[in-house]
Chain A
Amino acid sequence: MSNDRVGIIGIGQSEFRSRRDDASYPELVREAVVPAMRDAELDFDAIQAVVYSLSPDAMVGIGNAERLGVDAVGGRNKPFLRINNGGATGISSVIAAYYHVASGLFDVVLTAGADKVGECGDSQTVLNKIWDPSYERPLPLGTINMLAMSAVRYMNFYGMTEEDMARVTVKNRRHASLNPKAHLRKPVTIDDVMASRTISWPIKLLDCCPQSTGGAAMVLASERFIRDNHLDAVWITGVGHSAETYWMGDRMGNNPTAEHAGAHALGRSFEKSYRMAGITDPERQVHVAELYAPFSNTEFHCIDAARLVAKPGDSIARLRDGEFELGGRLPVNPSGGTLCTNAIAVTAMARVAEVALQVWGRAGTHQAQGARLGIASGNGGDHQIFGTVVIEA
């Protein structure tokens, strides 16, 4: 294992909105790249390689749209490749950039991307095409009814109620109201959520993430480069991925390979990240978490999988007690999270960026006080491919 650490030295995020008719797709990428470069105090000549973050092409309506982003990220005649792990793409791109540096081949690597989910027409129509064309696509499956099935099972196993789901939305909207980059910033009440229309029971409109448009970028560097250039950084000390079966039916029934109520592979990915970072008791060692939860119910099983509670299902009572609020014992999604902003290609990168800002002490109005060690996660595909990182000050 490499002895040299990999640090984050620059972060950029655009503001996330429903539409950005004033910005083309490459311009949106550029909006995130420029502040990231300014944050890193570097010019483009310093960037040795680029990892491009883009999930389904159909969201932007251009096949291999990363090709049109080359100049936006300053990638011309440089090492450049794209990652697509579905919704996990953003965190997988950060991890890919991490491997670029950890391999010893590069000192400074940029990862960046953007998405126009809010302008794709209907993301569920695009996302239906992720499933098998013969068996699952005609049902029709979408990511909402897929995770509604997870919610029903979680209710059955652990006693989650629709009001518990609403509490997640209320918490995250309150957090998002403090985050100027977030898309949905209007605080809501439990009654508001309960009164919103049912999309796929038990998921209601206000239990759902928005379709967002925006970009994100991060600059990673080797410890040697950071020291030599006297740069400020936070450190990636743990990374991991793991995947579940593609087939929804194999996660349900009497003997599932991985129970759909939970997030088995997310837990496996966290195990790897924690082992790498030397974390043995995440419940006590983790100070802040940005967990990819596009629907309110999924935040519970993400907290379980990250072992921020003693056993699965404990997250329900702990959330009721306010432990995961800003100001609570272990703030979860202090940015408002995926539930308030979801530009799919970079959503999981935003999770990493937000945790980095937290442990750096630079999260501004949504800062978790005293956070020195944080975790982030991303979910891709049909709740199938998971990526995780640990970041320390």
Chain B
Amino acid sequence: MGLRIQPAVIGCAVRPVIAARNRSLEETIYDTAQLALRDAGITIADIDGIVVAANDQFDGRSISVMMASGPVGGVDRDIMSTPSASEHAFIMGALRVASGQFHTQLVVSWSPTEVSSMQEAQRLGTDPYFHRGLPLDEMSAHALQASALEHAVPGARQAAEAVAAKNREHGRLAWPDPPLYPAAGPLRWPLTPAMTTAPVSGAVALVLASPEFVTDRGLHDVAWLRGMGWATEPGFLGDRDLSTAPALAAAVRQAYEAAGIGDPATDFDLAEVTDATPYTELLAYEALGLCPRDAWLAGSTDGSFARGGRVPANLSGGVLTWNPVFCTGLMRIGELANQIRGKAGAHQQANARCGVAHAGSGFALQYQAAVILAREPRL
């Protein structure tokens, strides 16, 4: 089965780092939502549904959607929240448009850094009896995954180092002000400073619309949703083989089947993937059908995924350039939308017509999603 109605991304605002100290979180969310609406050429009056995603522990609130309702225009509107992942807000928004009951959806996610200890906030998300005492945080889970991959795949470490260098290089072009690559704090073996980036505050907003709305408004700069898939792995790390990504494989199958993707290496002009560490980008190459694991080292060092390569990956610089922890997944989708709409700025890929975004989140990317966007609505 496919979506009954095909949504399109008509507006986007990606703000991977928010340094303005004179804006509250509410004002930041308002600014980001308004930027996306302005990008779409519409106003909040045109929005008939909203989906937001945030992490209560990072926000320091019990129900984040409450505070956000005003800044995103939720008063007297249909609003929902998906705190499981930022990318889930996009999926929910797309499903709502596809249901035929909405013409437009505003999708917003954010991730502040004011929490006194992000590691402690993440640790609260672990099982209280078995994992919390380890202690476990996202960096530890990523490190366990990196270790598992180094053990399973010869050359994985060198490939990961090459991926990290590529994304940092992409990041230098993407952002006019040179990124600082702030230190990630205490590291976990085998991750190195070059493979991680410290959290920053960020926000992202997208506007989705039905084909009818796109036609009625005469919109041309749109990115059509060709396919999407999402899946989860179990919550206990001990129940997973961290050297594999079966949930991502399941998500990719859904997305590719819907979009009719036969050969991803030629069907896609670019990819935006969640490089929480370069090891997760390698897993994404494999699951997306872009590069099998036994070719990771060659593929990562021969320029295949660099600017000008076969399928450039993370022209934005990815999470390794900016890491607003909770909203990095939706940010990948936003970056892809900007590329397809020709609005990516300094890191625009020429003639980007079809691409794939991989969004992952949680401990060792428990949640996985794949989203395919294209200039044309159909193949």
* Residues of A that sit less than 8 Å from B by CB: 1-2, 52, 55-58, 61-71, 75-86, 92, 95-96, 98-100, 102-107, 126-127, 129-130, 132-133, 239-247, 257, 265, 268-269, 272, 276, 380-382, 384-385
Quote the shortest CB–CB distance from B210 to chain A (angstroms): 11
- Flag if A92 contacts B362 (CB, 8 Å): no
Please give me the residue from chain B that is nearest to A60 by CB atom.
Answer: B128
Q: Which residues on B sit within 8 Å (CB–CB) of A69?
A: 235
Q: Does B350 contact A (CB under 8 A)?
A: no
Quote the shortest CB–CB distance from A267 to chain B (angstroms): 11
Task: Please count how many residues in chain B sit with their CB below 8 Å of the partner chain's CB atoms.
Answer: 64
5 contacts between A and B (CB under 8 A): A61-B128, A67-B363, A67-B366, A81-B91, A381-B65
New A-B pairs, 6, CB < 8 Å, besides A104-B3, A381-B66: A56-B56, A64-B55, A70-B233, A81-B88, A81-B230, A272-B78
- Flag if B82 contacts A81 (CB, 8 Å): yes
Contact among B70, B84, B363 with A82 in the assembled complex (CB-CB below 8 Å): B84
Q: Which residues on B sit within 8 Å (CB–CB) of A240?
A: 78
A80-B80 in contact given A2-B4, A104-B2, A105-B3 (Cβ < 8 Å): no
Distance of A241 Cα from B362 Cα, bound (Å): 28
* Interface window among B98-106, B145-153, B195-203: B98-106
- Flag if A79 contacts B254 (CB, 8 Å): yes
Quote the shortest CB–CB distance from B139 to chain A (angstroms): 16
Please give me the residue from chain A that is nearest to B248 by CB atom.
Answer: A77
A62-B234 in contact given A56-B62, A241-B80, A385-B65 (Cβ < 8 Å): no
Q: How many A-B residue pairs have CB under 8 A?
A: 203
- Flag if A241 contacts B100 (CB, 8 Å): no
Q: Does B63 contact A (CB under 8 A)?
A: yes
A71-B235 in contact given A2-B99, A130-B63 (Cβ < 8 Å): yes
Please give me the residue from chain A that is nearest to B7 by CB atom.
Answer: A103
Distance of A105 Cα from B95 Cα, bound (Å): 8
Quote the shortest CB–CB distance from B112 to chain A (angstroms): 13
- Flag if A63 contacts B57 (CB, 8 Å): yes
Distance of A242 Cα from B88 Cα, bound (Å): 20
- Flag if B231 contacts A77 (CB, 8 Å): yes
Q: Does B290 contact A (CB under 8 A)?
A: no
Q: Which residues on B sit within 8 Å (CB–CB) of A57?
A: 56-57, 62, 83, 124
Distance of A103 Cα from B100 Cα, bound (Å): 7
Q: Which residues on B sit within 8 Å (CB–CB) of A385?
A: 65-66, 69, 79
- Flag if B125 contacts A86 (CB, 8 Å): no
- Flag if A100 contacts B95 (CB, 8 Å): yes
Please give me the residue from chain B that is nearest to A125 by CB atom.
Answer: B62
Q: Which residues on B sit within 8 Å (CB–CB) of A55?
A: 63
Q: Which residues on B sit within 8 Å (CB–CB) of A103?
A: 3-5, 94-96, 98-99
- Flag if B100 contacts A102 (CB, 8 Å): yes
Q: Does B74 contact A (CB under 8 A)?
A: yes
Q: Which residues on A sit within 8 Å (CB–CB) of B254?
A: 79
A85-B98 in contact given A71-B235, A105-B2, A385-B66 (Cβ < 8 Å): no
Quote the shortest CB–CB distance from B194 to chain A (angstroms): 29
- Flag if B80 contacts A96 (CB, 8 Å): yes
Q: Which residues on A sit within 8 Å (CB–CB) of B235?
A: 67-71
Q: Does B173 contact A (CB under 8 A)?
A: no
Distance of A306 Cα from B235 Cα, bound (Å): 40
Q: Does B292 contact A (CB under 8 A)?
A: no
Q: Which residues on A sit within 8 Å (CB–CB) of B352?
A: none
